Amino acid sequence: MSDPLFLSIAELGKAYRSRKLSPVDITRQCLARIAKLDRQLNAFITVLEKESLARAAQAEKELARGKDLGPLHGVPVALKDLVDMAGVPTTYSSKAGSPKTPKRDAPLVARLKASGAVIIGKTNLLEYAYGAVHPDVGQTNNPWDPKRTSGGSSGGSAAAVASGMCYAALGTDTGGSIRIPAAYCGIVGLKSTYGTVDLTGVQALSWSLDHGGPLARSCADAALFLAAITGKRFTAKLPNVKGLRVGVMKHHDEARHMQSGVKKAVDSVLARLKKSGAKLTPVSVPDMDMAPDALMAILYPEASVIHQRLIAAEPDGFGEITRQQIEAGFAIPATAYVRGQMLQRELAMRFRKLFDDVDVLISPSVPWVAPAEDPALNDDSGAGEMLYSGLYNVLGIPALALPAGLSEGLPAGLQIATPWGADSLAFSVGAAIEAGVGLLHPPV
């Protein structure tokens, strides 16, 4: 058997049920891997050693007596540390309003527990998911090269999954915060259709733009995790792509940001799709280059309203960059916010029309490989990082990041977007691409 910490969730479940592996042993191995690697990676805020071993022991007994709660039964997973889990501190990777210890689970946590999953810990993130590292917490480093970032804001979840510390993890995404870390760490991350994941009990950044979703090592694993946290069925059936109508997205100003190695990796995937019978068409939509400005016009004031009381009470608890961004949001005029919402509706209508002609949209996830640090949210590099991702938060459609291959020894990410509610189509097309690229494992 290959390294059990890098088995698929289905393979792990089969080994559990045949008694070749046990949930307790696997949980111990995950905890040992965290102890070995996390001083270097800084992926976890809280490790639930005692709790996870107790839950693993319970899962082992349940499976032994034939009580099977589903594919995640006994599988170690992690939560981004802005989610309520009863009795466990939530820090938001901040010193402001932190820690809070909730009395009840967020609905998605309750669903995970009901699925039998072993929640092994809570992962690091950019402070309050708002684009900057709190200096007292530090960034999560990349398993492929610890001198580089794992991305934000769900970087802890991505690094934990990529490095074998757990099998899947929760992320949230307001402008790319699932897909950017997935791209940098060489794993799969889905920003599900807006509203698919119940975000009650999850710290908000922007009500209009926040999405939840899975980070995992394969599309099949991500589909299982999304099913567990939503109670809905998602699949990643390997499709025949012959006749698939692929819109190859062309973005304004992308040539200025694009690294040649990332372009080469994505072009190679597109060439394989074409060879397999997919129909590729370059596409663009009027005014979609305005989406980043619309995103910021919506995000900034909503984030400021969300944090209004806390920043008044504990301004020094925030890192300087986060504090400045919250303060800046109060100065955004209502007219800019309304214009952003108007463009949001207009682009949605245009993309609905576009999906009459194509089945999926493909682009890079990020125009470059993992940098040393997370770019600033409001400068040119930040705009470049979110060039391909932020549009889909404005639209609310599902968007999946997965590896396209390697560039300079680091993962290059590809993004698949589908119509509203077609999350399983994203997983399935992703699975077809995955079959050609293969799964990536970092050298740690």
Which of 271, 336, 273 has its CA nearest to residue 304? Answer: 336
Residue 388 and residue 141: Cα distance in Å, rounded? 23
Q: Domain residues of the chain, as ranges?
A: 4-230, 245-292+332-437
The 3-state secondary structure of the chain, one letter per residue: CCCHHHCCHHHHHHHHHCCCCCHHHHHHHHHHHHHHHHHHHCCEEEECHHHHHHHHHHHHHHHHCCCCCCCCCCCEEEEECCECECCECECCCCCCCCCECCCCCCHHHHHHHHCCCEEEEEECCCHHHCCCCCCCCCCCEECCEEEEECCCCCHHHHHHHHCCCCCEEEEEECCCCCHHHHHHHCCEEEECCCCCCCCCCECCCCCCCCEEEEEECCHHHHHHHHHHHHCCCCCCCCCCCCCCEEEEECCCCHHHHCCHHHHHHHHHHHHHHHHCCCEEEEECCCCHHHHHHHHHHHHHHHHHHHCHHHHHHCHHHCCHHHHHHHHHHCCCCHHHHHHHHHHHHHHHHHHHHHCCCCCEEEEECCCCCCCCCCCCCCCHHHHHHCCCCHHHHHHCCCEEEEEEEEECCEEEEEEEECCCCCHHHHHHHHHHHHHHHCCCCCCC
Strands 44-47 and 145-149: unpaired
Q: What is the mean pLDDT of the chain?
A: 97
pLDDT class of 378 with cuts at 50, 70, 90: confident
- Per CATH, 4-230 and 245-292+332-437 having the same topology is answered yes
Rg of the chain, C-alpha, whole Å: 20
Single-letter code of the amino acid located at 160:
A
Give the tokens for residue 145: 């090269």
Q: Which residues are catalytic?
A: 80, 153, 177
Residue 192 and residue 194: Cα distance in Å, rounded? 6
Give the tokens for residue 389: 């991702």
Q: Is the pLDDT of residue 165 over 80?
A: yes
Q: Is the pLDDT of residue 1 over 80?
A: no
Which of 302, 288, 299, 246 has its CA nearest to residue 387? Answer: 288
Which of 213, 201, 142 has its CA nearest to residue 172? Answer: 213
Q: Which residues of 214-239 are buried (b: 16+ CB within 10 A; e: fewer)?
A: bbbbbbbbbbbbbbbbbeeebebeee
Residue 73 and residue 9: Cα distance in Å, rounded? 10
Q: What is the CATH number of domain 4-230?
A: 3.90.1300.10
For helices 49-64 and 23-41, the axis angle rounded to 10 degrees is: 150
Q: What angle do CA 236, 76, 166 make, to 5 degrees?
A: 75
Give the pLDDT confidence score for residue 238 in this predicted structure. 81
Give the pLDDT confidence score for residue 253 in this predicted structure. 86
pLDDT class of 2 with cuts at 50, 70, 90: confident
Q: What is the CATH number of domain 245-292+332-437?
A: 3.90.1300.10
Which of 203, 182, 206 has its CA nearest to residue 122? Answer: 203
Q: Is the pLDDT of residue 141 over 90?
A: yes
Total length of the chain: 444
Q: CB neighbours of 89 closer than 8 A, spacing ≥ 6?
A: 46, 99, 100, 101
Q: What pLDDT digit, counting tens, does each position of 383-435 carry?
A: 999 999 999 999 999 999 999 999 999 999 999 999 999 999 999 999 999 99
Q: In degrees to the nearest 10, what's the CA dihedral of 152, 153, 157, 163?
A: 10
